[in-house]
Structures are given as structure tokens and as C-alpha cells.
Amino acid sequence: MSTSTTLEEARPEWARRQERARRHRRAKSRLRLPFAVAAACWAVLLLWWAAVYPAYTGSAPDGSAPLYAAAVRAVHAGPATLLQTAAAAFALGYLVAALARFGVRGRHSGPVALALAALPPTATLVVSATPEAVATVAALLLTGVGLRLLVRRVEGGLQLGGPAQRLDLAVLFSAVCALALTGTRGAGTALVAVAVLLLALPGARVRLVLLASFALAVPIALGLLGHPADRGGDLHTLRAADLALAQHRAPAPLGPALTAVAPPATWDAAGADCSASAALTGPWDAAAARRHQGELAAAWRQLLRENPDRVLDARLCRGRLAWGVWAGSSGPHAATGVPGPAADSRGLWHPLHAAASWSRTLLRAPQLDWLLWRGALWAYLGLAAAVLYAWRHRLAALVPVAGAAVLGTQLALTASAADQDYRTMAAALFLGPLLLTLATVRTRRTG
């Protein structure tokens, strides 16, 4: 029997009751903030959902995220986006609660979360039937879990367990599983984020590895059961876009398979406009590309062996959205891609739909593109706030934990970005402003 247990039993009953009451009030106080934030954010997101019903940008194409597309078809876009609003509201409240454990006051983080639920760049994503919405919510949850586990590690309670920790681990499993089910890019994001968390949270490595392994195995199991989640997606189009850039950089005679897909002039023009694979896949012969997938893959492997720098050049060009604060200026595909509303996105009430459309049009001013529609700036600001907090409080592990999900998104985009669609970096648009509230926490007093 420990000394603390003996002392606890020696205390009078009335003192123990008072201590239990204090703990209960403290627990209720901690729950009040996330519930209030989640409720307020959900109310605002429900207004957006009603304004753009059934969905802002329609359903996902089968090739990008077949499982998500199947779910949308099964329940219809309206209910699917309604569930997304609830999940996003929960994720915002959950992350605000995690930040509160680091001293961030609700009066700072709460309004930021509410603004994210209200502004068109972030709100329209949540109410869109697109896998990027699920991936963004999962990134919010993954960051919140990492922060909460880090607090427990600092407080020495990471090995104690309890209902709160079981909830965090369940949220971790759900977040990794959701990322994996959104496609190859989401699985890559999850792998990088979990790897970073493993380095920063040594006391929870076994549980993290087990939960992440089970979550990442779900798409594999679905593939073995015959679900279309095991498709390769647009891998051959990305490789073809790499070949186009290499052809533009160093023109060489094209083989008969490549000329059957597109004429040499098209390959060269697509290489000059390297920001999106659509520069090639738009004008090419899709049927011929499917027939010659083997030849395209062989040509790409040869390029990777002989000139790996050109493959990296092409991936960085298409992945500029992940790292560049400003959009590129070369080619028609270099600008930030912001999809407009679907044709059937008419809303449940015309004045509300008109107000939503007006606000979105207002914030599409080109001068606001770098601030509102590109996530790189907010990724850097959020990371800078985490670095400042880590320096003030001597908590170096905060930096990798806070930036794990965004770093995973950036690396996954570098490897597999197809265009400059702002939605693929929406995780940074959400996480950056919330992490920035870490800068409001003052230095702890000593002595």
C-alpha cells in the first residue's frame, strides 16, 4: 500500500467528500468550454448546411475516394454533409479543450473556432461532399489527441489510463481510420502524423502503434472483401505529368505509346504548365492512356532511375500549395483552385443561400487569396506559435505534436498532389489559427 493511499484513508470523511466535490466541479468546468464551442460552431455550420443544401460541391468522383463516394451514394449528400457538420463541430470543441490544457483561455480559442465555422473558406468545405472534408476533420482530431496525450505525459499520468484517456485513444483510432479511408494521400498523412507522435510520446508508443495499425488495416480488409477502396486512383496520371515536365525540360523523341496518348506538342505544353496534371490529362486520349498504362509506368520508372531530380521537380511544382504562401504565376493552372458551388446547391431558404453566395464571392478577391485560401501561411504561423510556447515553457515536444497532422498533409501533397485545389490544405486553414492562440499564454511564473 502506498503512502498516498494511507494518507487518503486517514483523512476525515467530510474532507474526502469535499475533495471529490472539487474534482467533480473541476471536471464539469473543463467540459463546459468544449461543449459550448461545439454547440456554437454546430449552430453556425447548420446555417451553412441549410444555405447550400444538399452539398456545396457535390459528390466525390469514384477514382479519388471510392469508399467516401460509396457512403455519399448510400445516405445521399444532404445527410452526409449534415454528419460532417456535427463531426467538425465536435473536432473544434475537442481541439479547443486540448488547447485549454496548455493554458489557452476560451475567450481566445472560442471566437477563433467560431470564425472558422462561419468563414466561407472553411465552412463551405465542411458542407461539401468531398473526402477532403473528412480528412480535415480527422486532422483536427489527430492534433487534439496528440496535445491531450502530451499533457498527460507532462503530468505523469500517461500510464494511468481512465475514461478520458480511453476516449482519446478511441478518437485517435477514428481519426487515423478516417484518413486512411479517404485515399492514398490520407493514409500517407496518417502515417507521417503517427510517426511524429511516436517520437514525441514515448510512453504511449505501444498503444499508438497498435491502434494505428488496426486503423490502417481497415482499407486493406475492405479491399480483400471486394470493396472498391483498393483502387489505385490517379497514380498513372501523376506519373504521366512527371514525364511531361521531364519532356519539357529536356526534349527527346517520344515512344509510340506516349505519342498515342498525346502528340509531342501536348506533352511539351503540359510540362510548361506543371502546376496540375490536368494540363496533360485534359487534352490527352484517356482511352489510349488506359491501354498504355504499362508503357507509361515503365517510362516513368526509367525517368526515376536516370533523372530523379525531374520527378522531384514535378512533384514540388504540383505540391506548391503545401509550401508556398503565394500562388504561382506560370500557366493557367498555377492559381489557387477554389471550386464553385454545385448546380443543385440551392439551399433550403433563398435569402440564406444568397447571403452565403455573397460572402463567398466577396472573399474571393484575388488580394485575399494568400490569406484566406492557401493553408501554407497558417501552417507557418501555427508552428511559430507552438515554437514560442515550447521555448517559453521548455516543452520541446509540443512542436512536433502540434505540427504532425499539417506536416503529414504537406508531405503527402508533395508526393501525390494533382492540382492546386485549396481543399487539400484545409487542415492548415483550421489548425493554424487555433494553434496561433498558444501565443496568448503568458510565461509561467517561477518561484
Using the structure block, give the residue that is written with the C-alpha cell 520527378.
Answer: 311
Buried b (16+ CB within 10 A) or exposed e, 310-335: bbeebbebbbbbbebeebbeebebbb
Phi/psi class of residue 339: alpha, beta or left (left: φ > 0; alpha: ψ in -120 to 50)? beta
How far from 82 is each of 1, 42, 54, CA to CA, in Å? 52, 10, 9
Residues 6+ apart with CB under 8 A from 146: 193, 197, 200, 201, 401, 402, 404, 405
Q: 183, 89, 175, 191: which is closest to 404 by C-alpha? A: 191
d(CA 217, CA 208): 14
Q: 200, 194, 196, 213: which is closest to 138 by C-alpha? A: 194
CA 191 to chain centre: 13
| Burial of 204 per CB tally in 10 Å (0-12, 13-18, 19+) | buried
Longest dimension (CA), the chain: 90
The residue extents of the domains of the chain are 34-231+366-440, 235-317
How many CA atoms does the CB half-sphere of 330 hold within 13 Å? 10
pLDDT 10s digit of each residue in the chain, 447 long? Answer: 444 445 455 667 766 666 666 655 665 667 899 999 999 999 999 999 999 999 999 755 555 677 888 888 889 999 999 999 999 999 999 999 999 999 999 999 999 999 999 999 999 999 999 999 999 999 999 999 999 999 999 988 777 778 888 999 999 999 999 999 898 899 999 999 999 999 999 888 999 999 999 998 887 777 666 555 444 456 789 999 999 999 999 999 999 999 999 999 999 999 999 999 999 999 999 999 999 999 999 999 999 999 999 999 999 999 999 999 999 887 889 999 999 999 999 999 999 999 999 999 999 999 999 999 999 999 999 999 999 999 999 999 999 999 999 999 999 999 999 999 999 999 999 999 999 999 999 866 443
How far from 39 is each of 144, 174, 435, CA to CA, in Å? 18, 21, 20
d(CA 397, CA 442): 18
Q: Where are the alpha helices (DSSP H) in 119-183?
A: 120-126, 131-155, 163-181
At residue 365's C-alpha, the angle toward residues 363 and 370, to 5°, is: 85
The SS3 of residue 92 is: helix
Q: Across the strands, what pairs with 274?
A: none
At residue 155's C-alpha, the angle toward residues 154 and 157, to 5°, is: 110
Q: Count other Cβ atoms within 10 Å, centred on residue 359.
A: 17
Q: Are 135 and 91 in contact (CB under 8 A)?
A: no
Q: 388, 370, 404: which is closest to 176 by C-alpha? A: 404
Q: 167, 165, 176: which is closest to 203 by C-alpha? A: 165
What is the identity of the amino acid at 15? Answer: A
d(CA 339, CA 52): 14
